Amino acid sequence: MADSFFSWLKRLGGKQEADGVAPHADPQHKAERPMVFVKELSPKSRRHLLRHFLALEDKDRLLRFGSKLSDDMVIRYVENIDFARDTVFGVYDRRLRLLGVGHLAFAPRESSRISGATIKPVVAEFGVSVSAAARGLGVGTKLFLRASMRCRNADVDTLYMHCLSSNKVMMHIAKKAGMDIHRDYGEADAYLKISPANSATVFQEAMEEQAAMLDYIIKANFKALLKWGARVMGIGGKDKGSGGKT
């Protein structure tokens, strides 16, 4: 019973082959990658988000935001994330630091630079970043897949990413996911078309969120246990980590 539960959890966090998602070309290489759980974040995670974004180097801030945001601008960006309108996904490490963040922003079609690309009322823009030390482990791919699944399930068929065409890593991730890349508005404004939802994608998203929540709770409890153990043993200073709830 417990075995089948954990193998189910592992399947959800591991290799993902949702509809329209091609299997990886090098399964051996990918098999060595750790499990990645993508959790939907709430306003309580702003502190974690800030820490993640402020740690990005200038060149990564440029890729992520389209300009080299100063620390003050990053602070303002995080303060102004509208969690009621948008969806923010995160991947935590075992010390509850955010390794990766994906921000899926929804906007009315008319306000978008690719407004002619869809007849749906809403389009999505996706921005993603992964901490330098955690790259190449599949975190960016999982965030991207989760965001595109959210679009599908929210009946949004057009996903825009800033400077998609010139970002080789993102192009690779999108192609690997079997997505069509459209360039009707020139090279700079490439966008992706998302397939419609079905009952499997809705179920899969719900299961992935449950698994990510469970993973987070286990990590939070383990961290609390370590903290308690250190206090009892009288070792370690004040923990400046990020143990708060999200």
Ligand X SMILES: CC(C)(COP(=O)(O)OP(=O)(O)OC[C@H]1O[C@@H](n2cnc3c(N)ncnc32)[C@H](O)[C@@H]1OP(=O)(O)O)[C@@H](O)C(=O)NCCC(=O)NCCS
Please tell me what DSSP assigns to residue 32.
T
| Region of 68-76, 114-122, 131-139, 184-192 interacting with ligand X (CB under 6 A) | 131-139
Query: What is the number of other CB atoms lying within 10 angstroms of the CB of residue 54?
Result: 13
Query: Which residue of 149, 173, 197, 212 would you call a contact of ligand X, by CB under 6 A?
Result: 173
For ligand X, which residue of 35, 169, 220, 226 counts as binding (CB under 6 A)? 169
Give the CA-trace dihedral at 49, 170, 94, 7, to 10 degrees.
130
Nearest distance from C-beta of residue 238 to ligand X, angstroms: 31
Q: How many residues does the chain have?
A: 246
- Residue in 51, 97, 120, 176 binding ligand X, rule: CB under 6 A: 176
Tokens of 150: 């959210």
Interacting stretch for ligand X, rule CB under 6 A, among 6-14, 80-88, 147-155, 167-175?
A: 167-175
Is residue 172 a contact point for ligand X (CB under 6 A)? yes
Q: Which lies closer to ligand X via its Cβ, residue 33 or residue 227?
A: 33
Nearest by Cα to 201 from 138, 140, 156, 246: 156
20: alpha, beta or left? (left if phi > 0; alpha if psi -120 to 50): left
Q: Single out the segment in contact with ligand X by CB under 6 A; choices: 11-19, 47-55, 67-75, 159-167.
A: 159-167
Binding mask 21-60 for ligand X (x = CB under 6 A): ---x-----------------------------------x
The backbone torsions φ and ψ at residue 236, rounded to the nearest 5 degrees and listed phi first, read: 80, 150
Give the integer Cα–Cα distance in Å for 48 and 99: 10
Nearer to ligand X by C-beta: 16 or 45? 16
State the nearest-atom distance from the C-beta of 188 to ligand X, in Å: 13
Q: Cβ closer to ligand X: 130 or 197?
A: 130
Integer angstrom CA distances of residue 157 from 13, 149, 172: 25, 10, 20
In the complex with ligand X, which residue's Cβ is closer, 143 or 197? 143
Residue placing its CB nearer to ligand X in the complex, 103 or 152: 103
For position 127 contacting ligand X by CB under 6 A, the verdict is yes
3-state secondary structure of 199: helix
Q: Closest CB to ligand X belongs to which residue?
A: 140
Subset of residues 61 to 90 that bind ligand X, contact rule: CB under 6 A: 63-64
Helices (H), the chain: 2-13, 27-31, 46-54, 58-65, 71-79, 139-153, 168-176, 199-233
Q: Please, which residues have CB within 8 angstroms of residue 8's CB and are 6 or more apart in sequence?
A: none
Binding site for ligand X (CB under 6 A): 24, 60, 63-64, 127-130, 135-141, 161-162, 167-170, 172-173, 176
